[in-house]
Amino acid sequence: DQQVKQNSPSLSVQEGRISILNCDYTNSMFDYFLWYKKYPAEGPTFLISISSIKDKNEDGRFTVFLNKSAKHLSLHIVPSQPGDSAVYFCAASYEGAQKLVFGQGTRLTINP
Amino acid sequence: NAGVTQTPKFQVLKTGQSMTLQCAQDMNHEYMSWYRQDPGMGLRLIHYSVGAGITDQGEVPNGYNVSRSTTEDFPLRLLSAAPSQTSVYFCASSYRRSGSPLHFGNGTRLTVT
């Protein structure tokens, strides 16, 4: 049972435009959500997080939105840059949980 | 500024062989974990540890053993390698078990023939 789903395996965006990556979850206990970015031959690196008491969190060009009623979160990157080309994973957890549950990942390609 | 260090980076095994993937962190993190990454499957938790001497199973523990004798080290042992264990393995650590981001190593790419 895939509790965290990223339904788009890939996304292609023009440089300077907005990139929107989506993630859905099924477990209503999740209250902490994270996005990770992964380059080839490297480990995932933490990008941004949001707790369920908020519906938006910003960090520079990156904004994460959380819609608890729809069990949906999204990552917006504005403006997109070539260095943003990577695989993005969303992940979820809850207080007291021993693990992060990851989605399948979305490969973002930024075209010049 | 090492963070999480994994060795080796690459390994090829024959079916039935055993080996240990090494993981060390220098951030004094309590929580450590092992994930495997497979195409279309994301990252799946194999085993985790909330402190020295304490380990537990994740989603896909079969065929793997772990131990945590020190805060710094968390080795993953493959007892009898199978082709289904061909994957990229990531070790990760965090300050506490939930509510803080994981820091990942750069992975070990394992091929079992």
CA B57 to chain centre: 12
Mean of the per-residue pLDDT values of chain B = 94
Q: Which residue of A94, A99, A102 is the best one to mutate when testing the B interface, meaning the one whose CB has the most B CBs within 10 A? A: A99
Q: Mind listing the pLDDT tens digit for each residue in A75-95?
A: 999 999 999 999 999 999 987
Residues from chain A contacting residue B106 (CB–CB below 8 Å): 41-43
Three-state DSSP class for residue A66 = strand
Residue B2 pLDDT grade (very low, low, confident, very high; cuts 50, 70, 90):
confident
Residue A97 pLDDT grade (very low, low, confident, very high; cuts 50, 70, 90):
confident
Size of interface A-B (CB pairs under 8 A): 60
Q: Mind listing the pLDDT tens digit for each residue in A62-77?
A: 999 999 999 999 999 9
- pLDDT at B1 (0 to 100): 65
Q: Is the pLDDT reported for residue A1 higher than 80?
A: no
**Given CB atoms, is B99 within the 8 Å cutoff of chain A?**
yes
Enter the tokens of residue A100.
Answer: 């992060």
Q: Tell me, what DSSP letter sits at residue A64? A: E
d(CA A28, CA A17): 33
Q: Mind listing the pLDDT tens digit for each residue in B33-70?
A: 999 999 888 899 999 999 999 999 999 999 999 999 99
Enter the tokens of residue A71.
Answer: 């069990």
Three-state DSSP class for residue A95 = coil
CB contact under 8 A, A104 and B102: no
**Given CB atoms, is B76 within the 8 Å cutoff of chain A?**
no
DSSP chain B: ---EEEE-SEEEE-TT--EEEEEEESS--SEEEEEEEETTTEEEEEEEEEETTEEEE-SS-TTEEE--SSSSB--EEESS--GGG-EEEEEEEESSSSSS--EE---EEEEE-
- DSSP lists the bridge partners of residue A50 as A33
- pLDDT at B97 (0 to 100): 63
**Given CB atoms, is B106 within the 8 Å cutoff of chain A?**
yes
Contact in structure between B108 and B60 (CB atoms under 8 Å): no
CA nearest neighbour of A25 among A111, A89, A112: A89
Q: Mind listing the pLDDT tens digit for each residue in A18-69?
A: 999 999 999 999 999 999 999 999 999 999 999 999 999 999 999 999 999 9
CA nearest neighbour of B6 among B52, B51, B37: B37
Angle at A101 between CA A62 and CA B38, to 5 degrees: 95
Contacts of B106 (CB under 8 A, 6+ apart): A41, A42, A43, B6, B9
Nearest to A43 among B48, B97, B106 (CB): B106
d(CA B25, CA B49): 13
